[in-house]
Structure formats: C-alpha cells, structure tokens
Amino acid sequence: MSTLIRNIVLRMGAGISGIASLLLLLFTACSKDEASNPIASIQAIPAMDTLRGFIGENTLLTNSRTWYIDGWVYIANEAVLSIEPGTVLKVLKKGQKNIDGGLIITRGARIIAPGTQYAPIVLTCSDTLMTYQAVKMAVVLLGRSPEKAPLSIITGFGGLNGSLAYGGQQPDDSSGLLQHMQIIYPYILHKQIAQQDSLRAGVFPMGTGSKTIIKNITLRQVTPNIQIKLR
C-alpha cells in the first residue's frame, strides 16, 4: 500500500482535484483488503443512562455503564440497537410493587446483542431486594415473517395506543441477533400471578423470520432468601 501511495503522490499536483482523486484511488485500492471487515454504520451512544420512549436511529449501548429502562422502549424507524457484551440493563420500577418495561424491537428494526459465555448481557430490574405483585420485563421481537393472519396485533404495552403489529410476507426476515443473555427477575407473590397476562419475563419473538438468531437465553428468578446485586 505504501508504494501505491508514493506513486500516486508523485504523479499528482497539490490542487484540490488532485487530493480528491487521491482519496478516491485509495478507497478503491483498499476496498478488496477491507471487504471482509466492512465499516460499521454510524451509531449514537445515548448521552443519558436512562432510556425511555422511542429510539429511531442506530444506537450503541456500551458496557462501560449501567443502562436504565423506563417503561417500554421502542426501537423503531428500522433502526439498529447494538448492545456490547457484558452490558447490564435495569428496568425501573413502576410504582412501588410493579415492574413493567423492557425493549420492543418493532417491525423492520433490529437488535444486535452478541453476548458471550464469559460476558453475557444482563437484563434485570432496579431493585431485586423486594417482592413484587406483578412483573412484566422482556425483550419483544416483532418481525415481518408470515403468521396466521397477514398482520397480527399484540396488546398490553404502554405507548402506541397499547397495540403493536407483527407478521408480514417476509419469511427470511431478520430481527437481529440475541445471544448469551441473562434475564434476572424478582420474586412475585404467587397469589397474584394468576391475575396477570401470560407475558412476564423473557424473550418473546413474534413473527420473527428465519434469519433472526436467538440462543443461550437464561431466565433466573430471585428468591427472597437469595438476592443478586449488580453494579
């Protein structure tokens, strides 16, 4: 590469057009070498550590801090949410006795969360030291793969009028990659469980296509006698 640069510089003037041509030639010369390692798209790192509402641009959550989720956070506008291995996410309490929040990947958007065996991604709540009446804490993937109906509706979430669409006509659709995630949720009063809907804690794929990768997801409920504290 150094010989190529030297030859190009010797044959070009110092004008603006010469510099532009140099950059174009360098990009062309390097493209074959870098084809196996493409440049990642631009990602924004949130300035605040609390996520709420909608995320409509490519976003990166780093493992250098703990991220807090206030209610249901929607990844929309076909954006990509990337989460580094070892990242900790905590869903904030809703009231005194309820947990109700998480991540919802809407149709066309994706999550890229490549946790590892030794650096898993952890989804938990802000306080596991107490017993709750209701817990709804999850990562929900809404894809564009065919379902029983061309477009199905799921209800029970805050925002978006409480309903979200999933399904479509793309069987090879991808909602992203989610692997080596630990979901640690608090103890729930057993007498209250029957009064809640079926969605509590976990990863819920709905209408996800064949290119969606979900593996090594661990669910663990904290008992009153064994408490888990994370940084």
Our CA dihedral for 60, 66, 71, 77, rounded to 10 degrees, sits at 0
- What pLDDT does 166 receive? 86
- What pLDDT does 187 receive? 76
| Domain ranges within the chain, ordered by starting residue | 2-31, 50-221
- What pLDDT does 199 receive? 57
- What pLDDT does 5 receive? 34
- What pLDDT does 13 receive? 37
Cα gap 159→63, rounded to integer Å: 28
Q: Per-residue pLDDT tens, the chain, 231 aa: give them.
A: 433 333 323 333 344 333 333 333 333 333 333 333 343 568 899 999 999 999 999 999 999 999 999 999 999 999 999 999 999 999 998 877 788 899 999 999 999 999 999 999 999 987 776 777 778 889 999 999 988 766 676 666 665 555 678 888 999 999 999 999 999 988 776 554 545 454 578 998 989 999 999 999 999 887 766 555 555
- What pLDDT does 2 receive? 38
- What pLDDT does 194 receive? 44
pTM higher than the cut 0.85: no
- What pLDDT does 35 receive? 37
- What pLDDT does 16 receive? 37
- What is the radius of gyration, based on Cα positions, of the chain? 22
- What pLDDT does 164 receive? 79
Residue 139 exposed, middle or buried by CB count within 10 Å (0-12, 13-18, 19+): buried
- What pLDDT does 147 receive? 81
